[in-house]
């Protein structure tokens, strides 16, 4: 039993030494891992439903690309570049999360109607039940004719 523990301890130390100066797992790598696993599940379901191994071929290729990208990023020694990629991913994810949360909040708000400015894309909120109105965009000053 002690011999096995010694072997495992030496393996942990060797793996730690190998990973020194490498990127390792970050948020983008975890996203790639989850994408890989999801694609494998989708492929398995498609193969099971169609009873054909060829049907999941596209998902195999995409899953393999995700796995290779993840391994490349994990083992990479170019830390500034990998950190930049991870930062761009985190910014994209935060922006997508904010947009989704805003859409859910607007959908639940029954006391107001929301209109997007055609020039700048700003979302303008007006109370419902006011009839035909002209909304002035607070950001660019464009006029929006709307019915509440």
Does residue 9 sit within a domain? no
Q: Are residues 30 and 99 in the same domain?
A: yes
Tens digit of pLDDT for each residue in 27-39?
999 999 999 999 9
pLDDT at 146: 85
pLDDT at 121: 86
pLDDT at 39: 93
pLDDT at 74: 95
135's CB contacts (< 8 A; 6+ apart) are: 115, 124, 126, 143, 144, 145, 146
Beta-ladder partners of 135: 144
- For residue 130, give its domain range: 111-148
4's CB contacts (< 8 A; 6+ apart) are: none
Q: Are residues 119 and 54 in the same domain?
A: no
Does residue 15 sit within a domain? no
Q: Are residues 141 and 97 in the same domain?
A: no
Does residue 87 sit within a domain? yes
pLDDT at 66: 95
Q: Are residues 58 and 100 in the same domain?
A: yes
Does residue 47 sit within a domain? yes
pLDDT at 147: 86
Q: Are residues 54 and 83 in the same domain?
A: yes
Q: List the chain pLDDT tens, one digit each, 148 residues.
A: 689 999 999 999 998 899 899 999 999 999 999 999 999 999 889 888 887 777 778 888 999 999 999 999 999 999 999 999 999 999 999 999 999 998 899 899 999 999 988 888 888 889 888 888 998 888 888 888 888 8
Does residue 1 sit within a domain? no
Tens digit of pLDDT for each residue in 73-97?
999 999 999 999 999 999 999 999 9
Q: Are residues 103 and 116 in the same domain?
A: no
Does residue 5 sit within a domain? no
Distance CA 30, CA 46 (A): 24
Q: Are residues 95 and 147 in the same domain?
A: no
Does residue 134 sit within a domain? yes
Q: Are residues 77 and 98 in the same domain?
A: yes
Q: Are residues 126 and 58 in the same domain?
A: no
Sign of the torsion angle spanned by Cα atoms 23, 63, 61, 28: negative
Count the domains in the chain.
2
């Amino acid at each position: 039993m002690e011999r096995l523990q010694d072997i495992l301890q030496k393996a942990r130390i060797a793996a730690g030494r190998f990973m020194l100066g490498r990127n390792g797992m970050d948020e983008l790598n975890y996203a790639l891992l989850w994408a890989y696993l999801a694609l494998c599940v989708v492929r398995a379901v498609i193969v099971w439903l169609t009873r054909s191994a060829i049907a999941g071929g596209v998902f195999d290729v995409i899953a393999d690309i995700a796995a290779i990208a993840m391994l490349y990023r994990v083992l990479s020694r170019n830390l500034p570049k990998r950190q930049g990629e991870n930062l761009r991913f985190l910014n994209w994810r935060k922006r997508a999360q904010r947009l989704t949360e805003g859409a859910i909040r607007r959908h639940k708000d029954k006391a107001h109607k929301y209109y997007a400015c055609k020039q700048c894309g700003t979302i303008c909120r007006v109370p419902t039940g006011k009839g035909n109105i002209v909304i002035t965009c607070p950001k660019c000053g464009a006029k929006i004719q709307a019915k509440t």
